[in-house]
Every structure is written in structure tokens, then in C-alpha cells.
Structure 1
Amino acid sequence: MTLSTTSVTHSPKRAWLAPLMYLLACGALLGLSTNLAKLAGEMQLSAVAFLFWSISGAALILLVLAAFRRNLPPVNLRTLEYYAVSGLLGVAGANLLFFLAIPHVGAGFVALIITLPPLLTYVGALTLKMERFQVTRAAGVISALAGAITLAFHKLSAPDANYLWILLALIGPVLLAIGNLYRTLRWPVGVSSDALAPGMLIAAAVILLCVSLLPGFSLGVSTDRFLPIMLIGVQALVFAGQFLLLFLLQKSGGPVFLSLLGSVGAVVGVPVAILLQGETAPEGLLLGALLIGAGIALLNIGKAKQLN
């Protein structure tokens, strides 16, 4: 059975439920991923090596799945462009920044800043005239940005603040937002979600392979211990599920709804980082989370009004 992008008539309840389920499942995997990246750092796995091998594993899993369904990624100039740009923005670029930053700023902080793409995506959608301006949704953007600024201010004002890595980590949500808009605008006509996902991951793996050739980077993984290899395998499974669900959500929910992944990821990622990995709660967490939560709620209330 192929998961295609062909329009199918659903009841209103089912049409609403499917994107929500994709969002919750994909967001949970995203939150888990940030904590797995921290564990990888504690095991002395480099960010590039951990990301490359886990993405390669995820690409292989999805490629086998696509072959089983007889729905392999199409290869032409149009799709190659799509795989390369999507892989750079939404996979290799953003995740490499996050994974490199986690040892310096913490998994909890990264899990919180991945709540920013909905706001940036909405601003981009307005600029590109993919959405109409609405006061409620604009208020949501302002509220959530205030929350993000609150978190960033407290992080930057900490005595041991690493300004460079905080700023580099904040570039990640910008790349994700651009990627959300790009995938919607440039989705190849007639190509299904489960064909696009492995193509994007293969492109991301090639990009990371090129990065590994730069001085200071390596794809080497010690085979003396079983745990690092097992961790890469777990992350590969997480990535496979995450990116397949991402494309299903992209098609059914649109770019702004898709960007709510970060919020769900934070709900999972921050408590795991605090309770299981012993991180301290970020300063300003309560106020920042309330402002971001209010902003996201206003974004969705505004979207509901547009549909009515």
C-alpha cells in the first residue's frame, strides 16, 4: 500500500485527526532525538559521525520500505533539486547545528528553541503571500517571539554562557522554517511522501559526507564498544519515523501547522533532559514557555477562524 499525495475525500473529523496524530508522533520523536544526541556526545561520538551514520541508516530503512511498496524516489533534475535543498535545510544543516550545540548549551535549551519555526514559518508565509494577515495570528507571533527572547536573554546572561554556540543554535530554527516553506512551495507534482523522504535523507547524508572531509571533522566510530553502535541504530529508527511522518504532515497540514513539531518536541525533550539526564531547568522557563504556548495557541485560533 502506497502513502500517496493523491487527494482523497475524508470526513471533516478524519481530515482533522490525521494531521494531529502525525504531529504528536513526529514531535515526540523530535524531542527524543535531541536527548539521544546528548547521550552520543557523552559517549564521545562526534556530532557529524553520529548524524551521518544515523541518517544513512534511516535513509536505508525508508529506501527498503519504498522498494517494498514499489515507490522508489524518482530521479530527475526537479526531484534532485528538491532532495538537495530539503536535505540541506531541514536535515543536515539544522540538525548539525543542534547536535554540535547540545554539549555547549544543553539538550533542554535546544528542545525549547525548536518551538520557534512556527513563528518564523508564519512570517515567511505572509511575506510570500501563502497566508493572509490576521490580527490574532500576528499577536501569536509577537507573544511567542517574546517568549523566545525571554529564554535567550536568560541563557545569554548566565555567568557561563557560551554566546557563540547559543547564537549558532538559534540559526537552526531559521533553517527549519525556510525548509518548511520550500518543501510546500516546491513539492514535486504527483510524487508521494514515502518516495520523497528517503531521497531527502540520502541527499543529507551526502552533504554530511562532504562536511566530514573538512579539517576537524571525522566519520570515525569506535567499534570497541557496543553502546555507541546501538545508539546510532536507535537514532536511525527515530529519524526514519520522524522524516516519514514529517512529509505526511507537510502534505496534510501545511507548513505552519508542520512547524508546531517543535512545540511537541519541547514537551517531550525538556522533561527528559531535566528528569533523566540531570540538566537544570533553563532560567525563565516558565515565563518563556507560557508566552510561547500562548503564541502557538493564538496561531491556531487564527487558523481556525480562517477555515470557518
Structure 2
Amino acid sequence: MTRPDALSHYPWMVPLISLLGAGTVLGVSTNLAKLAAGVGLDPLAFLAWSVTGSAVVLGSVGAARHRLPSVNIRTTEYFVISGLVGLAVPNLLSFAAVTHVGAGFVALTIAFPPLFTYLGALFLGMESFRFRRAAGVVLALGGATLLGILKLSEPDVDPFWVAATLCSPILLAGGNIYRTARWPEGAAPDELAPGMLAAAGTILLAVGLIANTFWEGNGGSSFSLAVPTSHAAPILLILAQTATFSVMYFLYFILQKRGGPVYLSLLGSVAAIVGVPIAVLFLGEAPPKGLALGCILIGFGVGLVTLGDPKTT
């Protein structure tokens, strides 16, 4: 039987397990977005209802455990900014782009935040320079960049949607740093996740309502919250995405607290390893050139950062 203090002897295990778990469901999430577009779900509707559903799930779990977040000016600021920059905007960009550049490419771009996060953390004094850790980040980013460059070399790639997709990792990196720098004192990870999801869901629903009102008499809205009900697929996909978001953001804040912003940013690299093969095997996308080499580099990078003693406070 495992001793209760067993994990104290292996402080890297909780961050690593959280990293692999959150990265895996993130890789699944990008592919669900492509499936949703294929059944007529608008990206905003798919994201808004999935995020809102996840907020309800994690909020209900928190209520049952008497671990709901405190709501005050400080935490409200935290939830709104982290929900906007770290969730609503980057995910909406990725979900809107997935039908134009493919789920595989979207999965690759969410592997780019490590370098941006690392540089930001170094600049702000949140991270001290350690060669092994830096080498791991560079290797992981290098693997993702290799796959991305080879993808861009393919014909018929839409530059606008490529650029829009590449904005997502920059926002995610900013969110990684913000959440660590402004972590509310005394707050536990499982208390913060439902608050951020609720704020992001509220923002997305408000955008949809405002857009629908504005365009109601002008030819229709390009941001629809409507869910097709002629068949079950849209609702089932929203429920599946709700489940992935619930698992991902529960682990997300544990990873943020135990691993720090740079280690957290590596979950995009894990998502690329998971998401690209799913897109190839199940969605019929062409395998990216250099996939094997890119995955090897990403794997070694994650390993080096793990061995580099991630933050365990």
C-alpha cells in the first residue's frame, strides 16, 4: 500500500502527472472543435456552452466539498483577466481557425507558448536561469516549430488564419504569467478553476448576445450561440468538450501552482503529440512532415524540464 507521504519523496510526480493529463485532454479538445464545425456548430457557440458547462461542473464539485472561491474585487479581477486572456480569446481564435488550417496545425501552435512564457518569467524575475530547464524549453519549442514550419510550406494554406492561430500562443503565454503573478493569497487551485471558467463563459455568452442583437436587423450575426437540434451530434460534442475542459482546468491550476508558469506552458507541447496523431488517424488529415522528429524533440524537452526540478510550492 502506498504511504500517504510517498509523493513528498518525488515532488516532480504531481506536476508531471498534471502536465500529461492536461496536455492529453487539450490535444483531444482541438480535434473536438473540428468535429463541431463539421456538424454546424459555430465556434463561439461550441466554446461558450462548453466553458459554461465546465464552470457548472467544477462549481458543483466545489460546492459539494465546501471549496468555492471567495468573490471580492481581487478575485474578480483575477477571474476576468485570466478568463479573457488565458481562455476565452485564444480558444475562440483556435476554434474559429480549425476548419481553415486543420486541427493538427492548431494542436501544433498551442505548443509554442513555452519560449514566450520562459522569456517573460525571466524578465519579471519569476524564473531564475537554469541551463537544463532552458534547454528543455528550447527543445520542446524546437520540435513544435519544426512541425509548424513544415506545415506552412504546404500549398493552399490561408495566411490570415495562420496568423490568427499564431496569436493564440502569445495570449496563452501572457495568461500563464499573469495567473502566477496575481495568484490570490491563500487560494487553492480547485477554488480558482471554476471562477475562471465562469468568467470566461460569461464573457463569451455576452459577446454572442451583443453580436446577435447588433446584427439582428443587418443580415444576421457572424457570432451565433445557437445549437442545432435536428440531430444529437452537436449536443454530444458540447458535452464531450465540457468533460475535457472540466478535467483540463482542474489539472491546469494544480499544474500552475505546483509547476509554475514555464512548466505549465509545456502542456501545449504534450497536446501537440496527442492532438496531431488524432487529427491524422481519426479526422483524415495528412500527417505533418517531420512528425516523428518533432515528437522526439518535444518529449526530450518535457523530460529535461521535469528533471530540472519544477517549482513544487
Give the TM-score normalised by the residue count of structure 1: 0.89
* One-letter amino acid of the counterpart of residue 121, structure 1: T
- Partner in structure 2 of residue 233 of structure 1: 239
| CA gap 1:148/1:194 in 2 versus in 1, 3 angstroms | closer
| 1:5-25 Cα shifts (integer Å, max 9, x gaps) | xxx987533533222222222
Which moved further from structure 2: 137-146 or 184-193? Answer: 137-146
* One-letter amino acid of the counterpart of residue 37, structure 1: A
Distance 2:237 2:82 in 1: 25
1:74 corresponds to 2:70: yes
Give the CA deviation at 1:161: 0.9
Identify the match of residue 35 of structure 2 among 39, 53, 70.
39
1:200 corresponds to 2:196: yes
Identify the match of residue 61 of structure 1 among 57, 62, 67.
57
Identify the match of residue 274 of structure 1 among 249, 274, 280.
280
Identify unmatched segments of 5+ residues in structure 1: 1-7
1:247 corresponds to 2:253: yes
Distance 1:304 1:67 in 2: 34
Give the CA deviation at 1:140: 3.9
Give the CA deviation at 1:208: 0.9
Distance 1:292 1:272 in 2: 17
Q: How many residues align?
A: 299
Matched-pair contact (CA < 8 Å) for 2:273–2:295 = no
| 1:184-231 Cα shifts (integer Å, max 9, x gaps) | 111101122222111101110121123323351110111221121111
| CA gap 1:295/1:23 in 2 versus in 1, 3 angstroms | closer
Matched-pair contact (CA < 8 Å) for 2:15–2:310 = no
SS in 2 for 1:282: coil
Identify unmatched segments of 5+ residues in structure 2: 212-220
- Partner in structure 2 of residue 135 of structure 1: 131
Distance 2:145 2:244 in 1: 30
Give the CA deviation at 1:141: 4.2
Distance 1:81 1:21 in 2: 29
| CA gap 1:161/1:22 in 2 versus in 1, 3 angstroms | same
Give the TM-score normalised by the residue count of structure 2: 0.88
| CA gap 1:250/1:219 in 2 versus in 1, 3 angstroms | same
Distance 2:37 2:45 in 1: 11
The residue correspondences of 1:7-26 to structure 2 (distance < 5 A) are 11-26=7-22
Matched-pair contact (CA < 8 Å) for 1:119–1:144 = no
* One-letter amino acid of the counterpart of residue 249, structure 2: F
SS in 1 for 2:70: coil
| 1:41-92 Cα shifts (integer Å, max 9, x gaps) | 1111010000001111111111111111122221111000000011012210
Give the CA deviation at 1:145: 4.2
Which moved further from structure 2: 280-289 or 211-220? Answer: 280-289
Distance 1:60 1:293 in 2: 34
Give the CA deviation at 1:97: 1.1
Matched-pair contact (CA < 8 Å) for 2:112–2:145 = no
SS in 2 for 1:255: helix
Give the CA deviation at 1:119: 2.3
CA RMSD for the aligned pairs? 2.3
Matched-pair contact (CA < 8 Å) for 1:120–1:174 = yes
Identify the match of residue 90 of structure 1 among 78, 86, 89.
86
Matched-pair contact (CA < 8 Å) for 1:156–1:162 = no
| CA gap 1:296/1:19 in 2 versus in 1, 3 angstroms | closer
Give the CA deviation at 1:306: 9.8
SS in 2 for 1:211: helix
Matched-pair contact (CA < 8 Å) for 2:69–2:191 = yes
Matched-pair contact (CA < 8 Å) for 2:260–2:311 = no
- Partner in structure 2 of residue 3 of structure 1: none
Distance 1:52 1:115 in 2: 23
- Partner in structure 2 of residue 4 of structure 1: none
Identify the match of residue 114 of structure 2 among 118, 122, 130.
118
Identify the match of residue 100 of structure 1 among 96, 99, 105.
96
1:264 corresponds to 2:260: no
Percent of matched pairs sharing the same residue = 52
* One-letter amino acid of the counterpart of residue 18, structure 1: V
